[in-house]
Chain A
Amino acid sequence: TQLLEQSPQFLSIQEGENLTVYCNSSSVFSSLQWYRQEPGEGPVLLVTVVTGGEVKKLKRLTFQFGDARKDSSLHITAAQPGDTGLYLCAGDPAGGSNYKLTFGKGTLLTVNP
């Protein structure tokens, strides 16, 4: 069973602060996805990273995939209250054809005005 360790589990910050969420595993993933989930909704895809060392930016969000494709990070610059939500990383197993994602436990982010 491939596990994704996500940290921190909870994060409460003030508007304008920066933060980083980490997603680590001992297993290799063919791709890693980041989702954000708001109350009463399903997770919504933010980004997919597929190449080791890849960096993707989505406005104030920066996503990085580790060189060995075992870990990833999400960095938010100048957080805003609208960034509040549950952030989930999910990995597609390398070499697998069963399409089963492995989800991290999530990071519940609260950005206070």
Chain B
Amino acid sequence: SAVISQKPSRDICQRGTSLTIQCQVDSQVTMMFWYRQQPGQSLTLIATANQGSEATYESGFVIDKFPISRPNLTFSTLTVSNMSPEDSSIYLCSVEGGWGYGYTFGSGTRLTVV
């Protein structure tokens, strides 16, 4: 299965600023997924990022707040813009491992907005 390197692992940010999270995959993948996991909660899909096209956002998430880049088949970034304390969460990237192999996740970015 793929190996994902995600960074930063954690950050504490001032409200109103932006943070860009990076995910590097050790193999080429068509789609990458970005999730948010609020404290003690399950995962909520933010958007799906395809190389060479605009990301597809889920209901409740917009491009202005969570711009995504996907410059090639092994890399993607998610930016959390104009942050507020409500954005404090764990952000995870993920790729599909192929039929029957589930999904591989990065180790997550724990974001605290103060």
Contact = CB atoms under 8 A, between A and B. Distances in A.
B52 interface: no
A42 B106 contact: yes
Interface string B14-37: 000000000000000001010000
B48 A88 contact: no
A98 B33 CA distance: 11
A106 B43 CA distance: 9
A50 B110 contact: no
Contacts of A6: 42
A105 B110 CA distance: 19
A60 B92 CA distance: 29
Interface residues of A, number: 23
A48 B101 CA distance: 7
A17 B107 CA distance: 30
B48 A103 contact: no
Interface string A39-50: 011111100101
Given A42-B106, A48-B101, A101 B42 contact: no
Contacts of A40: 9, 107-108, 110
Interface of B: 1, 4, 6, 9, 31, 33, 40-45, 48, 92, 94, 96-97, 100-108, 110
7 contacts: A40-B9, A42-B105, A43-B43, A45-B104, A50-B100, A99-B96, A100-B48
